[in-house]
Amino acid sequence: MDKSFFIRNRNKLYDTLEDQSLTILFAGEAAHKSADESYPFYPNRNFYYMTGITEPKVVFVATKFGGKVSETLFIQRADPWMARWVGETITPDEAKEVSGVENIELLEKLESFIRSQLDNRVYKHLYADLEAKSWEFPAKPANKFAAEAVTAYPYLSIHNLYPVISDLRVIKSEEEIERIREAGKITADGIKYILANAKPGMKEYEIEAFFNFVLKSRGVTEFAFPTILASGYNGTVLHYSANTGTAEDGSLVLLDLGAQYQYYNGDISYTFPVNGRFTERQKTIYNIVLRCNQEVTKRVKPGIPYTDLNDFTIQFFTEELLKIGLIQKPEELTKYYFHHVSHSLGLDTHDVGSYRTDILRPGEVITNEPGLYIPEESIGIRIEDDVLVTNDGYEVLTTGLPRTVEEIESFMAEHNKNIKNK
């Protein structure tokens, strides 16, 4: 991503800030796992969105005073000894080139810089990303900093940037859309490789390995989320991710997976018969879900309430399941459909923002993922696409997959040697 993208994002943020304010954002650092091992590091997504920096411990500070904005990035001092063990840290020139921030300082100067600013200028506002999911949510560096700052400088008004940046992220730029599109393409290629190699009797994790191979061979090092690869009854559990079951002959395999491309995510749900042929009952349920997916897509356009998509899904499934006798009254639908049909997609798979209560706007990327789950028949089917809201309608970003019953069966018959040799 070019630094101009991050500069634009910061300028949009500055337009929302009060004068006489100080803003601080933290990249974060890897959480400790056990002994001398840490979990992999992932930069705070709001920090990345504003700076493009993907290294731990980096801190961004901006001041707005008299209408003038000043920016500073604080990075780690180079450590030749640690570089031999874990690699070089970002240099000042690299930090400038990535972020577009011209003033680069060492992290060890952060505290004195903040104290100097607050002691020598009359600041009224402190802005920080104070994300918190619940009262028990572990305090992040920004939350700790804000708590200490308001104790030392009680006249400061503390403002939470999390919802502000989150709402900025809802509307995607062309650069972001292209990365989501590429993530979807790689994800689709991984699914086709699964279709070409899966066979009855395989463990779910064996089938998953075909997807992993495609992603790694395409240079993708991270997944959008832990892969769901669920066969038979496991497919009726919404967030099943153990992937340890066996795909028995005659069972369906439900996939919910995604590649992460340059920090942007693809998200596709897909269902297929492991032996290459749907049963009549599986066809019936699959076609209901597919028609719902297609009809929801047609309804995507600017100006419609986001909630309308799920309202339509509930109405559609209710009518169809009453027709086939799976339910006897509308209130029984929640036994077989119990999640929302859509969520925003971007730097996070369940992307942030207040879109859940808004109307759709051009530039949003959302998922379309109706599903039906019938535990008593071991049938779980979900079909998901990633959809861009355009100026006058929609564009499906996840294309190139066989989707109809006939297309799936034909693809597997042609490309899967295990099916052809049966």
Enumerate long-range contacts of 306-309, CB under 8 Å, 24 or more apart.
Answer: 306/342, 306/355, 306/356, 306/357, 306/358, 306/359, 306/360, 306/366, 307/356, 307/357, 309/341, 309/342, 309/366, 309/368
Check if 239 is active-site.
Answer: yes
Q: What is the amino acid identity at position 23?
A: T
User: Which residue out of 71, 182, 348, 384 is catalytically annotated?
Assistant: 384
Check if 45 is active-site.
Answer: no
User: Which residue out of 10, 179, 181, 343 is catalytically annotated?
Assistant: 343
Cα 377 to chain centroid, rounded: 31
Give Cα separations from 44 to 8, 27, 30, 197, 263 (angstroms): 18, 5, 11, 37, 11
Check if 384 is active-site.
Answer: yes
Check if 159 is active-site.
Answer: no
Q: Answer whether 305's CB lies under 8 Å from 382's CB.
A: no
Check if 15 is active-site.
Answer: no
Check if 382 is active-site.
Answer: yes
User: Which residue out of 32, 115, 121, 239 is catalytically annotated?
Assistant: 239
User: Which residue out of 208, 256, 364, 409 is catalytically annotated?
Assistant: 256
User: Which residue out of 233, 373, 394, 409 is catalytically annotated?
Assistant: 373
Check if 48 is active-site.
Answer: no
Q: Answer whether 164's CB lies under 8 Å from 383's CB.
A: no
User: Which residue out of 267, 348, 364, 386 is catalytically annotated?
Assistant: 267
User: Which residue out of 8, 218, 277, 339 is catalytically annotated?
Assistant: 339
Check if 369 is active-site.
Answer: yes
User: Which residue out of 129, 320, 382, 409 is catalytically annotated?
Assistant: 382
Cα 403 to chain centroid, rounded: 23
User: Which residue out of 369, 385, 386, 409 is catalytically annotated?
Assistant: 369
Closest CA to 372 of 299, 288, 308: 288
Check if 248 is active-site.
Answer: no
Check if 350 is active-site.
Answer: yes
User: Which residue out of 32, 121, 350, 356 is catalytically annotated?
Assistant: 350
Check if 222 is active-site.
Answer: no
Q: Write out the catalytic residue numbers.
A: 36, 239, 256, 267, 339, 343, 350, 369, 373, 382, 384
